[in-house]
Chains A and B, each alone.
Chain A
């Protein structure tokens, strides 16, 4: 099992009464406003399950029983498998992991000033890079290639990820066809559909269009994953003030209601199907109308949602480490540090979008990916907390060292050093003289060197040649099929 962290005493932002209030408000909203489902089959499934459905407005409303049954029927933990067992990640209780991504359109050049369009080669290299980094436990495609037809690009990103990293791949899909094709690609990598269901290398994330509207494509993905029994990550991504209330509590009520409406559908399609609930709760910057995803409010809402989901005993995927800064600067660093720490302290099971993202999630920087890996390392160290035991209180050691001595030659130091102190890779702690001797490089330059080193030295475990050939030949057919149709006339 891969090394994540665990919030042993998770941060509790909200009191029990406040959680109750959010829960009751959520049920009230689900009973009265409900959610729109722009897909006839979803509405039919929900109606059969006992939801109140108005077909003309495509709206379903839910009773408390229906919602809480879905909560009870959903598994309490979801395992996202890597190609090998040691890369498996189990989302449950207050365990914490980090996930990369996702789908940036642009690549920030190493000078930190210019951007260029992401290419297929970038997708390969970024997966390769992420494969080597310890604190990226789950992979999301860090970039989406711009030099290809957008139709079917989800299949392309999927094949690239499966071939260039052995980490679990968490992705999105263009409707049912996109989901089915990616399941096929992942089955080829896993050695058949049954093997894939047993050890899912792929999870897909259907996302609601806030406020309260499920689009057809997302619902197709949701139904497909549920019926196949493959893990899915049901997502809500509102902008507070624009697509959800400006008050954080109100936004939480909406996020919760949106997620639970999706959960009801998933559990209606197939009782017990694996689901994690996910939020990406940003705010709208009211001066520019832009998304603010590096906002401290994102950290607060994610932390609160982690607490709420733990109450439901549902696995939760939060968001952290997205920067609105355009470049790898101090703004990026503080946005990332704050928004990674809060969800982690609260015990979010997976903190996604936490690698490399700049300009909200439009741009990715190779250098930032390795810098964020270091921030995640510090956060995971913080989660370990301070162990207090006879051994760590070290009274014996203190006694035998005495006043005026030092601890460097004590075996106790040797024994505990690596666990007690986080040893950073990129952070510079040298003297100025040494720093100058090494070229007076700032963290961005050091990160650039590290990217070069990893890409040159690290070799992701490859799929065997026949598997790759089979996957590529399927992919070719899939792209042909996806690219047929509208826009081509």
Chain B
């Protein structure tokens, strides 16, 4: 019975069935299945599976995003039922948003979907996010990574501003900073003291994994970078 429900829960995610995931999650709760187990065996693994298929080019971005949405819908039902003291296992908590002055959403949202598929707990603050809000949320949620996105060149200084605020609030050691978006370059990321740079969504996820593995402050390293001519200077 339990296995059958968990199997169906997995299928909803693999079939990108958001409404189904919510419905089966309720069934799981009513059947008395441990909510944490339901999430960690019924919802998270199929999203990882879809993530792997995406990485192999066998499924496409909308499918990856819908699998994530299905997982979210199921999790929303089950999470409040998790008993105190227990927590969903994740690779790290990422607070992410597009910086103030920039309304571009899509690149950041793709990174969110891919971070979720990778097993991160992601809190998306949206677009045009004031620097102060990044800092407040990073503190409140005890974030491992603060991820900043920008498409407009004119919004770049705002990234530096966020980093300076994080420093001022002495959060810089607790939370690593990852910047990305079409306006950013590796050189710019370095120059403002970011810990990581995601040249595209796939790299942003790789950087997030690296940053959560790394101890303390680890600077941007050569091997994680795009092999740009300028970097050898």
Interface flag for A116 (CB, 8 Å): yes
Interface residues of B, count at CB 8 A: 36
Whether a CB of chain A sits under 8 angstroms from the CB of B157 is yes
Bound together, the chains give a CA A209 to CA B101 distance in angstroms of: 12
Contact A290 B200 (CB under 8 A): yes
Residues of chain B in range 87-146 having any CB-CB distance to chain A below 8 Å:
101-107, 110, 114, 128
- B21 CB to closest chain A CB (Å) equals 22
- With contacts A38-B103, A116-B229, A146-B185 taken as known, whether A217 is within 8 angstroms of B152 at the C-beta atoms is yes
Most buried by B among A116, A146, A150, A489: A150
Q: Does B85 contact A (CB under 8 A)?
A: no
A117 to B102 alpha-carbon distance, docked (Å): 23
Are B57 and A213 in touch, CB under 8 angstroms? no
Given A153-B153, A487-B161, decide whether A287 and B228 contact each other with a Cβ distance below 8 A: no
- Chain A at the B interface: SS class: loop
Asked whether B230 lies within 8 Å of A116 as measured between CB atoms, the reply is: yes
Residues of A within 8 A of B164 (CB): 487, 489
Across the interface, A286 reaches (CB within 8 A) one of B61, B114, B160, namely: B61
A28 adjacent to chain B (CB < 8 Å) = no
Separation in Å of the B7 CB from the closest CB of chain A? 28
Give complex CA distance A106, B110 in Å: 24
CA distance A486 to B153 in the complex (A): 14
Taking a contact as CB atoms under 8 Å apart, the answer to whether B62 and A217 are in contact is no
A460 CB to closest chain B CB (Å) equals: 26
CB within 8 Å for A486 and B157 given contacts A115-B229, A241-B62, A287-B57:
yes
Q: Which residue of A lies closest to B226 (CB)?
A: A115
A151 and B230 contact, CB distance less than 8 A: no
Known pairs A115-B229, A150-B154, A486-B158; A287 contacts B60 (CB<8 A): yes
| CB neighbours of B185 from chain A (8 A) | 105, 117, 146
- In A111-156, the 8 Å CB interface with B consists of 114-117, 144, 146, 150-151, 153-154
Shortest C-beta distance, A115 to chain B (Å), equals 5
Q: Using an 8 Å CB-CB cutoff, how does the interface string of A241-274 with B read, 1 for contact, 0 for none?
A: 1110000000000000000000000000000000
Q: Does A174 contact B (CB under 8 A)?
A: yes
The answer on a CB contact under 8 Å between B187 and A146 is yes
Residue A304 CB within 8 A of the other chain? no
- Does A117 contact B103, Cβ atoms closer than 8 Å? no
User: Cα distance A284–B60 when bound, in Å?
Assistant: 11
Q: Which residues of A contact B161 (CB under 8 A)?
A: 486-487, 489
Chain A interface, number of residues (Cβ within 8 angstroms): 38
CA distance A42 to B130 in the complex (A): 22
What are the residues of chain A within 8 A of B102 when measuring CB–CB? 215
Chain B CB within 8 A of A338 CB = no
Interface of B: prevailing SS? helix
Residues of A within 8 A of B230 (CB): 115-117, 146
Q: Is A454 an interface residue (CB 8 A)?
A: no
A residues within 8 A CB of B160? 487
When distances are taken between beta carbons in the complex, the residues of chain A under 8 Å from B101 are 216-217
B179 at the interface (CB under 8 A from A): no
Contact of A284 among B54, B61, B158 (CB under 8 A): B61
Please state if A487 and B158 are interface contacts (CB–CB under 8 Å): yes
**Contact residue among A114, A144, A487 (Cβ-Cβ distance under 8 Å from B229):** A114
- A60 at interface, CB cutoff 8 A: no
The answer to whether A150 and B62 have CB atoms under 8 Å apart is: no
Instruction: Establish whether residues B229 and A217, one from each chain, have CB atoms under 8 Å apart when the complex forms.
Output: no
Chain A residues lying within 8 Å of B71, measured Cβ to Cβ, are none
Provide the residues of chain B in CB contact with A487, threshold 8 Å. 156-158, 160-161, 164
Known: A117-B185, A487-B160. A217 touches B106 (CB 8 A): no
- For residue A119, which residue of chain B has the nearest CB? B230
1/0 per position for B150-170, CB-CB distance to A under 8 A? Answer: 001110111011001000000
Kindly list chain B residues whose C-beta atoms are within 8 Å of the C-beta of A75: none
Interchain CB contact under 8 A, A362 and B182: yes
Q: Does B9 sit at the interface, judged by CB under 8 A?
A: no
- Does B201 have its Cβ within 8 Å of any Cβ on chain A? yes
| Contact residues in B for A116 (Cβ distance below 8 Å) | 228-230
Q: Write the nearest CB–CB distance from B12 to chain A, whole angstroms.
A: 22
Contact across chains for A289 and B229 when beta carbons are under 8 A apart: no
Chain A residues closer than 8 Å to B107, beta-carbon distance: 289
What residues of chain A lie closer than 8 Å to B188, measured between beta carbons?
Answer: 146, 150
**Closest beta carbon of chain A to B57's beta carbon, Å:** 5
- Distance of A114 Cα from B60 Cα, bound (Å): 29
Interfacial chain A residues near B57, Cβ < 8 Å: 287
Determine whether the beta carbon of B153 is less than 8 Å from that of A150. Answer: yes
Distance of B131 from chain A, by nearest CB (Å): 8
Q: Are B61 and A174 in contact (CB under 8 A)?
A: no
A289–B101 Cα gap in the complex (Å)? 23
A482 nearest CB neighbor, chain B only: B154
Contact with A along B69-93 (1 / 0, CB 8 A): 0000000000000000000000000
Residue ranges of B at the interface with A (Cβ–Cβ < 8 Å):
54, 57, 60-62, 101-107, 110, 114, 128, 152-154, 156-158, 160-161, 164, 182-183, 185, 187-188, 200-202, 227-230
| Given A213-B103, A242-B61; 8 other pairs, CB 8 A cutoff | A146-B188, A209-B104, A242-B110, A243-B106, A288-B202, A289-B61, A289-B107, A290-B200
A sample of 26 inter-chain contacts (CB < 8 A) reads A115-B228, A116-B230, A117-B185, A146-B185, A150-B188, A209-B103, A241-B62, A243-B106, A284-B61, A286-B60, A286-B61, A287-B54, A287-B57, A287-B60, A287-B61, A288-B200, A288-B202, A289-B110, A289-B114, A289-B201, A362-B182, A486-B158, A486-B161, A487-B161, A488-B157, A489-B164
